[in-house]
Amino acid sequence: MFLPNHHKFRAQYLIGNTKSPYDWAAQLVDQQQLRKMPYRKRKFYEQQNDLIERYIEIDCLLDSDVSHTMIQQYSQESRSRRAVVPANIDEEGQLYLTADARDEYSGIVTLAIMINFLINIFLLVGKAAIVLLTHSISVIASLVDSALDFLCTTIIWFSTSMIESSSPSIKLMYPVGRTRLEPLGVLIFSIIIIVSFSQVAVEAVQRIYSGPREPIELGIPSFAIMSLAVISKLFAWLWCRSINSSAVQALAQDAMSDIVFNLLSILFPVTGYFFNIWWLDAVGAVCLSLYIIRQWVETTIEHIRHLTGISGDAIDKQVIMYLCVRFAESIKQVTTINVYHAGDRLHVEVDIVVDEKLTLRDSHDLGEALQYAIETLPMVERAYVHLDYRDDNFVGHIQR
């Protein structure tokens, strides 16, 4: 009877009372009140509601006593624990937190990529036929867009397949996985799109100065194919935007670009034909190219920032801080918290102060349990917890 009780007493000693001291639900602003507010005030309270809901999720996780259970499992003798995590917190966390981004490489992602692949093949063939029939520069721009869609899907499928590969040799070469291949693939594709549409814009300008002076006519078959392109891309956008993967989100962004692009690809030559404005088709191609370039420059900048370690979102940092402060009573202070991108997800470095009289075993188990809890958060790739016995110690890293 002594040993089981001993394990519980140790968990109670290190963790203490984990029940939430706050009634966050009472602080939520209901939807009826939000509708009556001015726009800026409503946006502020909507963001506050989102933060409070995430605090409530943290409370639900910690109120489940998962932290106590982890410490108790550390106390139990075991021949090897290298293949498991304490208290199955990786699975337990999914019961209380929002959908885990680690599930993004599931069958639905592969299905989304394959459906986009088939749609792009159909549209590529159809638009190639329209270009042969009409020689419209706006449709040529749309054809280039479809060809790049095909390339985009191929790059994303290739990077996703490499990420999913988990052979022993791959784990040896990439100890923390290859998840950064996904944003890297999107970055490469973004650059290809920018270069390609810059060339389309140059070709359109040359056609304005030296091309034929007759308006382009789109026949009924061409109009039908372009309309079908809009409908199919609308379906792809509605579906892909609901999947939590940066690769599939890139496909969703590309689908929305295609919807606008294909609509305008029809509008410019048709308007030019009916009003006998021969240059409208070429001007439309320039406008479409600039629209696509602007969109993907923003995407390029975003992924460069993520891959070079830009600081994480302030809201994410607040949620992580709240988890650390609430995790255990023996954590006296959180002195430093660094949250930064390592690709799509975040790396977290936390410095905590504990009683210097804690044994090495207690300090280790407390710090590693907190580390596991932080890594349960869906936006976190990896966490590092450093324990200190005073709040004014050295910074811990050499400044580079």
pLDDT digits (tens, 9 = 90+) for 59-86: 988 888 888 888 888 877 665 666 577 7
Give Dmax over CA atoms of the chain in angstroms.
Answer: 95
The residue among 149 and 4 whose pLDDT is bigger is 149
* Distance (Å, whole) CA 307 – CA 341: 7
Phi–psi pair at 355, nearest 5 degrees: -65, 130
Please say if the pLDDT value at position 395 is more than 90. Answer: no
- The two tokens of residue 110 are 């592969």
Mean pLDDT, all residues of the chain: 81
> What is the per-residue pLDDT for 5?
55
Please, are residues 309 and 340 in contact by the beta-carbon 8 Å criterion? yes
* 249 residue type, one letter: Q
Burial class (CB within 10 angstroms; exposed 0-12, middle 13-18, buried 19+) of 282:
buried
Averaged pLDDT for residues 240-250: 70
Name the residue with higher pLDDT: 99 or 204.
204
* C-alpha distance from residue 39 to each of 34, 42, 47, 193 (Å): 9, 5, 12, 36
Q: Provide the residue type at 189 as one letter.
A: F
Q: What DSSP designation does 244 have? A: -
Residue 349's pLDDT is: 95
Band of pLDDT at residue 103, cut at 50, 70 and 90: very low
Among 22-26, 256-260, 382-386, name the most confident range. 382-386
